[in-house]
């Protein structure tokens, strides 16, 4: 298993023909962030590998997740009557979130600046972005948490899925059209949330207890913004881009079935994880919300990474992700009725297995593509220059 090759010879041949194609129409990105990133990237030394910038930003997102997992393990820290997260933590999280967002914006510019752009760099960037979704959403949850002034863990679970489907939608577009249409919601959410973290440090979480407008609470604003952005911006723009390609006869897949294949595994993951929640004898989501979110987000990241490999190599997306098989078996066992401690053990076991499997997948794919393109993933030196 250690030397297993996930990328087929057909896909490697497809990567050789790959040409990056993306469209960014977001005014915030075009007129504010890109000029800012163009300035920031000049401060980086030319020997710094773009993938190292990408990975550094991802580690900052993970650090924020772990930091708030320590101070708010069960999402009750922001509820009235509970010990709140210290103000300095919100400042650190806000700054690091913006730095991570900035690094995600300059890695590609550093690649073009150093003439080191490769398909591996794009895959590495978007692959880590797919895993960052769960870290980002769960970290934001600590602002409101659960309780009378917060959001229930099940509502947050549904909101997480709104974000996950919004993310995979752009890669589904590229799988069918060959063009990556960058979503507007990403830049807006990153800037807004970074600002909200800092504001929380200044005014305290108690400020979010008060109504935003009439009886409309800030938690309701938070929920409405996520759902509204997905339904009113992300989804309509994706369908419009798909329709334009269909009208221009430029779709890469002729049948509806083949066009929708990338959605099969994410939808099945949603069905299985939701079934587990609804059939859980010990109310598993209430007991271990953070672990459950992480399990779902990690499985989703693996599904998305395989889709990205396929759309970049112009190969068919797998119909079923194998990680769904053990999850299906766990759901069957849980549905038969198990003790609370056994169900908790099953959740932790599945989560650990998914995490190790996804890391193994990522490491092996990076090694395969590094060897294929004869590059070092975290250095600008060429192997034959040693």
**pTM of the predicted model as reported, rounded to 2 decimal places:** 0.95
Instruction: Name the token pair of 38.
Output: 């163009």
The per-residue pLDDT of the chain, averaged, comes to 92
pLDDT score of 2: 61
pLDDT tens string 66-83:
999 999 999 999 988 899
Checking if the pLDDT of 22 tops 90, the result is no
Cβ-based burial of 47 (10 A; exposed 0-12, middle 13-18, buried ≥19): exposed
- Among 328, 221, 309, 263, CA closest to 12: 309
Checking if the pLDDT of 43 tops 70, the result is yes
CA–CA separation, 31 and 328 (whole Å): 46
Name the least confident of 122-136, 189-203, 236-250: 236-250
pLDDT tens string 327-380:
999 999 998 888 888 999 999 999 999 999 999 999 999 999 999 999 988 987
Catalytic residue among 84, 126, 171, 372: 126
- Among 132, 158, 148, 167, CA closest to 285: 158
Structural domains in the chain? 18-373 (1.20.120.1760)
Instruction: Name the token pair of 344.
Output: 């908790």
CA angle 124, 127, 131 (to 5 degrees): 135
If DSSP codes are grouped into helix, strand and coil, which group holds residue 114?
coil
**Active-site residue flag, 126:** yes
pLDDT tens string 208-224:
888 888 888 888 888 88
Spatial CB neighbours of 66, under 8 Å, sequence gap ≥ 6: none
253: confidence class by pLDDT, cuts 50, 70, 90: confident
User: What is the rounded average pLDDT of the residues 179-186?
Assistant: 86
Strand-pair category, 180-181 with 22-23 = parallel
């Amino acid at each position: 298993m250690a030397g297993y090759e996930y990328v087929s010879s057909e896909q490697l041949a497809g990567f050789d023909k790959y040409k990056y194609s993306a469209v960014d129409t977001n005014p915030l990105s075009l007129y504010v962030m890109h000029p800012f990133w163009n300035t920031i990237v000049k401060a980086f030394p030319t020997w710094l590998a773009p993938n190292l910038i990408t990975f550094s930003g991802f580690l900052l997102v993970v650090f924020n997740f772990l930091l708030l997992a320590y101070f708010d393990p069960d999402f009750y820290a922001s509820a009235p009557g509970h010990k709140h997260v210290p103000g300095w933590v919100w400042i650190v999280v806000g700054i690091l979130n913006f730095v991570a967002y900035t690094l995600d914006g300059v890695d590609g510019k550093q690649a073009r600046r150093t003439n080191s752009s490769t398909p591996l760099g794009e895959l590495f960037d978007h692959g880590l972005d797919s895993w960052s979704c769960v870290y980002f959403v769960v970290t934001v949850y600590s602002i409101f948490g659960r309780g009378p002034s917060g959001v229930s863990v099940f509502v947050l679970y549904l909101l997480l899925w709104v974000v996950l489907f919004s993310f995979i939608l752009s890669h589904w577009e590229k799988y069918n059209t060959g063009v990556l249409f960058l979503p507007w919601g990403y830049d807006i959410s990153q800037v807004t949330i970074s600002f909200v973290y800092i504001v929380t440090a200044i005014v305290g979480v108690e400020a979010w207890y008060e109504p935003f407008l009439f009886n409309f609470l800030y938690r309701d604003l938070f929920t409405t913004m996520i759902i509204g952005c997905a339904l009113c911006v992300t989804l309509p723009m994706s369908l419009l881009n798909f329709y334009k390609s269909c009208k221009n006869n430029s779709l890469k897949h002729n049948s509806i079935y083949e066009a929708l294949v990338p959605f099969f595994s994410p939808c099945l993951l949603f069905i299985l994880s939701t079934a587990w929640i609804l059939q859980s004898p010990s109310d598993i989501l209430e007991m271990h919300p953070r672990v459950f979110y992480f399990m779902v987000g990690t499985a989703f990241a693996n599904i998305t990474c395989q889709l990205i490999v396929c759309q970049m190599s112009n190969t068919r997306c797998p119909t079923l992700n194998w990680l769904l098989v053990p999850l299906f078996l766990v759901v069957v066992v849980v549905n038969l009725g198990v003790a609370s401690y056994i169900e908790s053990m099953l959740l932790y076991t599945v989560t650990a297995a998914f995490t190790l499997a996804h890391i193994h997948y990522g490491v092996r794919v990076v090694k395969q593509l590094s060897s294929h393109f004869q590059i070092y993933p975290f250095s600008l030196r060429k192997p034959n220059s040693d």
